Amino acid sequence: MGKTKAAGPRKAGAGKRGPGTARRWLKWLILGPLLLVLLVQLYFFIMVCWYAVFNPSSTSFMRQQLAALQEKNPNAKLKHEWVDYERISVNLKRAVVASEDARFNQHDGVDWAAIERAYEKNNRRSKVVGGGSTITQQLAKNLFLSGSRSYLRKGQEMIIAFMLETVMSKRRILELYLNVVEFGRGVFGAEAAARHYYRIPAANLNAQQAARLAVMLPNPRYYDKHRSTSYLVRRTNAILRQMRFAELP
């Protein structure tokens, strides 16, 4: 039988992980998530630049709602039709600004006073019941995010809102918002809302009709089913009085 060849001397450090390897792992544990976050923000920024020029055919929120509707009815479709800014009634523009974001023309995407009021309200109720969102923030949510309520989502919403305000004019932001916001179950945008509730185009909405649609926005699916509540009547009358003070871009 031949002699077994003796194993050569092992290299120093073989089979051991030195401090350099540990540092590299630690670096990637820190930089990896940071890089991922930056890539996500870059994606949002690119899409914001795209929507500054091109109209979205659908949004993240629309797709979520369509999926929910199709769970019950596979043939369900959304009601949505894009119309340019000029083809939306001035009454609706004024009503939405008066109802949703009276300081729309002044802020940079986030109304900090409204955020503070919402924070205090959430603390009193020990849950997120409101976010003090501006029209720009609501557009950010509708375009890219979900309808869930959390401070993490609120933070991302604010970042996208700053992107929107940096890239787009106020007029474009309002045009996008009025075309993608939910007005009822499966009803998105001013044109679909005007036809769904009044059987007229968005350009023909009078002040009363526009104010009522604007008041429905915080809870459109509920008011789609409950169209004559006392709150809806009172709030509509209040918005009618405020509309003349609304500043449009």
What residue ranges define each of the domains in the chain, with the CATH number in brackets?
23-245 (1.10.3810.10)
What would the mean pLDDT of 211-227 be, rounded to a whole number? 94
* Torsion angle of the four alpha carbons 65, 71, 77, 81, in this order, in degrees rounded to the nearest 10: 10
Res 21: pLDDT: 77
pLDDT in tens, 132-179: 789 999 999 999 987 777 788 888 999 999 999 999 999 999 999 999
Q: How confident is the model at residue 196 (pLDDT cuts 50, 70, 90)?
A: very high
Burial status of residue 128 (CB atoms within 10 A of its CB: 0-12, 13-18, 19 or more): middle
Q: Among residues 187, 186, 135, which one has the least CA distance to residue 164?
A: 135
Res 126: pLDDT: 58
pLDDT in tens, 90-99: 999 999 999 9
pLDDT in tens, 68-87: 999 999 999 999 999 999 99
pTM for this structure? 0.83
| % of the chain with per-residue pLDDT over 90 | 69
Q: What is the largest CA-CA distance in the chain?
A: 107
